[in-house]
Each structure stands twice: as C-alpha cells, then as structure tokens.
Chains A and B, each alone.
Chain A
Amino acid sequence: MAAAEQQPPAVDGGKALSALLGGIAQAAYYGKVDITEELLRGQLYPEAAPEEFRALRAKMGGLLQSIASADMDLNQLEAFLTAQTKKQGGITSDQAAVIAKFWKNHRVKIHESLVNQSCWDNVLKNMNWRVDLKSQSRHVDQINTPVAIVEMELGKYGQLRGEQLVTGVGICLCKSIAHRDTSGPFF
C-alpha cells in the first residue's frame, strides 16, 4: 500500500477529484481566470483546511502539467501514474484512476489549447469571398473581367476583432493558388 499522506476528506473522493482536475484545466488551459483556489475548495472540499487543499491542488496541478506537457499517450500515462503511486507522498491508485479517466477525456482539448497558446503570429480568423463583374472601367479591355473579392480577417489568437483585409484576386492568381502541387504528404 502506498504511503499516501492524509488526504483532505471529501464527500465523494472520486467525483471531487475529477471536478478539481476540471477546475485546474479551466484555469490553466481554457482561460477561465476566475476559478480561484477558494472557489474550488468551497465547492469541492469544504471540510479541508486551506493549506491541505493548497497542497492537494498543487500536486494535482503539477501532475496534470507533466501529463499535458508530454502529451502522454495511454502507455506513457499508465507508466507515469504507476510510478506516482509507488512514490513517497505520491497518489493512491484510486486517484490514479481518476486522473487517467480525466486525461482520456480532455487530452485533445488541452493539447489544442496548448497549441493555440504557442501561436503568436496572426491567424486567419475568417474568410469570405464573392465574384464581381467589372461593368465599367477606364480600360476597355478590363470590362467584363470577373474578379474575386476576398475579405480576410487576420488577428491574434484570443483577440476579439482582427484586422480586415479586402483584396481583389484575378483569375490567374486564383488558379495558381488552387492548382499548387497537392501531392505532398499532407494532402
């Protein structure tokens, strides 16, 4: 039996821990900055003393961070959690099961959030287009030339409104973009 420290009492250990992990993920990965330690303690572990809860939150947060940082697959996760149950001051096998279930459900979303957090350049937030026919022009040869008007919204991840870029695209450029080599591994 692992030498687990005194865990703060909770109504339903598994459910509370799962919710705690959820709360940690909300704050760390989903951008919900208003999920405070006090809020979590009050809702999930009301009987626990603040310092005990802080220690629990820190430990769970650290474990989740390690798992998320390595983007662990099931094998890695099992090995990691097993090692944690054998450590002095580690976790119980019940806790390990809860963590494993949580990661299985949230892995994709958390990884996506980490990917987005690492994107510091502009992203294409939105793109619309329409095709216009020039009905009058100074140059006779431009009349009845169709042109695609493309509206792109460029901005940083998390920014509400990006910069609008509206450009006309002629047929040549459209075709050259559309018919680029698409035989590579990603297509």
Chain B
Amino acid sequence: HRPFYNSIQTCSSGLLKYALKIFSNLSSLQCEQIIQHLNHKIPGVNTVELCQRLQTSGIEVNVGDLAKITNTVSFLFSTAARNNLSTEELITALGSTVNTLPKHAIQVIRHVWNEQGKSVGVSEDKGNMSTVGQFVDIKWKLGVAMSSDTCRSLKYPYVTVALKVADSSGQITNKCFEMTVPQFKNFFRQFKEMAAVLETV
C-alpha cells in the first residue's frame, strides 16, 4: 500500500486531521454526497449550502475550509479505492492522524467506508478534462438601472445571470454576470443553436 501512504503524506497532517474531524460531524447524507460525487452520480458537492447547514447545526467552518475538506476527503477515498483498501487497512493507513481523532470520527469513517467504499470506482483519466467543469444550473433576472451618481437618467434594462458550475474536482461555485438585453438575446440564441446541434448529433 505504498502509493496510498505516499498520498497521505502529501496531505498536511493538520489539514487531514481537521478534515476528518469535520467530515465525521457531517450527517450521513452529507458523507454520501461526497461519495456520490466520486461515483460521478452528481456533478458536485454544494459547498456553500453544506457550509450553511453545518453552521446551523453549530459547527464552525467557513466555505474555504469546507472546500479544502471536501477535496481532501474525496482525494482520500478515491486513492483508497484505487488501492482496493479494506476498512481496517484504511484506518491503519491513516496512522497517527487517526489516533488523535475523537472516537466517533473513526466510527463514521469506518461506517462510510463499509457502506460506500466498494462502490467508489476508480476515476477516469482526468487529463483532458481538468479545466472543463460542468454547468449545473442557471438563473436570470431582468432589472432596470434608473439613475446613478454620474447619470441622473440612465434608464437602461439589463439581465443578470447566475451560473452554478461544478469544477472538475466537484466544487460548486457561483458565477454572476450582467448583460444588456441585446447581449442576452444573443446568449440565449446561442443556447438554442447548441440545443439544436445536440439533438441532431
């Protein structure tokens, strides 16, 4: 299990410890989300939403940290899967990190790996996919800018679009941008063309 040990070494032990501790505090539903992402069943883990839910249940964590944690845990599980580790081997391989974790954290990792571990497939070659994320959702809003400090009579309509995109590691981010109405018409016309091409291919 040399490759797995090496992989563990590349994660800083502090981050790994923190990650596992928080991970073990996630509900089983949330653990499942990460595993399902590894199985390519869902496009990504909604870090922002997950963070809000954790904070409501009293766990102090910010979005940036949670993103690192999701990455670390995903990485851990996928590496373990690639090396075909059993639950005990996984726990042993985590080594000293595990010793300092609270008992229930180990139980959660054990449980998750028992239940879901076998179904985690080995991920396909991400070489040419590393920069391509996945569109998850789109929302739009039409507004009219009436006035500003440089122009009393602006009166121009514009469309704000909010995209939810999952990057190749599964992190979901929100991108927001504005378009004038002609730009928006062009934008949605492009998607119409795309849909037409997708149907005929």
Chain A residues with CB under 8 Å of chain B are 68-71, 111, 114-115, 117-119, 121-124, 127, 129, 131, 133, 137-139, 146-150, 154, 165-171, 173-175, 177-180, 182, 186-187
A168 vs B198: C-alpha distance when bound (angstroms): 12
Complex contact B201–A131 (CB within 8 A):
yes
**Complex contacts, A170 vs chain B, CB 8 Å:** 135
In the complex, B145 has a CB within 8 A of chain A: yes
B residues 81-124 near A (Cβ < 8 Å) are: 121, 123-124
In the complex, B151 has a CB within 8 A of chain A: yes
**Complex contacts, B123 vs chain A, CB 8 Å:** 138
Q: Given A122-B176, A139-B40, A186-B142: A174 and B150 within 8 A (CB)?
A: no
Given contacts A71-B155, A124-B187, A175-B195, 15 further A-B contacts (CB under 8 A): A114-B154, A119-B178, A122-B178, A123-B183, A129-B194, A131-B201, A133-B201, A166-B131, A167-B163, A169-B194, A171-B199, A173-B138, A180-B140, A180-B188, A186-B142
In the complex, B29 has a CB within 8 A of chain A: no
**Complex contacts, A175 vs chain B, CB 8 Å:** 195
B residues 138-189 near A (Cβ < 8 Å) are: 138, 140, 142, 145, 148, 150-158, 160-161, 163, 165, 175-181, 183, 185, 187-188
Tally A-B pairs: CB < 8 A: 126
- Chain A residue nearest to B167 (CB atoms) is A167
Q: Given A146-B201, A167-B134, A180-B188: A123 and B179 within 8 A (CB)?
A: yes
Complex contact B150–A117 (CB within 8 A):
yes
- Closest chain-A Cβ to B115's Cβ sits at a distance in Å of 21
Q: Given A124-B183, A177-B188, A178-B188: A171 and B195 within 8 A (CB)?
A: yes
Complex contact A154–B175 (CB within 8 A):
yes
Choose one: B153, B187, B192, B198; the contact of A146 (CB below 8 Å).
Answer: B198
- Chain A residue nearest to B145 (CB atoms) is A118
**Complex contacts, B180 vs chain A, CB 8 Å:** 115
**Complex contacts, A165 vs chain B, CB 8 Å:** 133, 163, 165, 175
Complex contact B194–A178 (CB within 8 A):
yes
Complex contact B133–A167 (CB within 8 A):
yes
24 A-B contacts, Cβ less than 8 Å apart?
A: A69-B153, A71-B151, A111-B151, A114-B154, A115-B156, A115-B180, A117-B151, A118-B145, A121-B176, A122-B175, A122-B177, A124-B161, A124-B187, A137-B124, A138-B121, A138-B124, A146-B201, A148-B198, A168-B134, A169-B191, A170-B135, A178-B191, A178-B192, A186-B181
